[in-house]
Amino acid sequence: MALKKINSILEQLQGRIPQWICGADTVISINRELLGKPRDRGEARVMLEKLQGREHRVSTSVALFNGKNQTTDCRTVESRVCFVSLSEREIEWYINTGEWQGVAGSYKIQGLGGCFISSISGSYSAVVGLPMHEFYIMLVDNGYQYAV
């Protein structure tokens, strides 16, 4: 999906080549089942019920298009996240916040969903949606001039 996002932008630019384009996408997996973005409250509830009291993997891919040499670099960062057990009341409260909308796995670690995270192994920023350290390394590896 990160690569598709870059390709979509390049198509929209109709031959104009920017210096840089970044695309990123995150997916949650638990027991080999992928959890994307929920379509509605019911799907959000099902996802939260699957995650609660268990560990899951968060995989975030970031793609970087370098307009100078017209190449694309893509890397994926995996983190493990542990959710606490949730009561029905906590799940209902969280769903009512609306924070589940538009996010993989139905939660935002950087928001109220962070209340339910007991531990994380890996990159916090990758769980948020953009692995900052890896993105920085990609820029440097692709010739980004961060200092003049």
Token pair belonging to 78? 């995996």
User: What global pTM score does this model have?
Assistant: 0.88
- What is the widest separation between alpha-carbon atoms in the chain? 55
Domains of the chain: 2-140 (3.90.950.10)
Q: Is the pLDDT of residue 147 over 70?
A: no
Q: Which residues are marked as active site? A: 25
The model's pLDDT over 15-32, given as tens digits with 9 standing for 90+, comes to 899 999 999 999 999 999
pLDDT at 114: 97
Token pair listed for 147:
């200092």
As a whole number, mean pLDDT of residues 44-72 equals 96
With contact defined as beta carbons under 8 Å apart, do 116 and 86 qualify? yes
% of the chain exceeding 70 in pLDDT: 99
Of the CA atoms within 13 Å of residue 108, those in its CB half-sphere come to 12
- Report the alpha-carbon distance of residue 99 to residue 90 in Å, rounded: 13
Element spanning 9, H or E: helix 2-12
pLDDT at 14 over 90: no
In the 8-state DSSP scheme, what is residue 120?
E
Q: What is the mean pLDDT of the chain?
A: 95
Predicted pLDDT at 130: 96
Confidence band for 85, pLDDT divided at 50, 70 and 90:
very high
At residue 148, the pLDDT reads 56
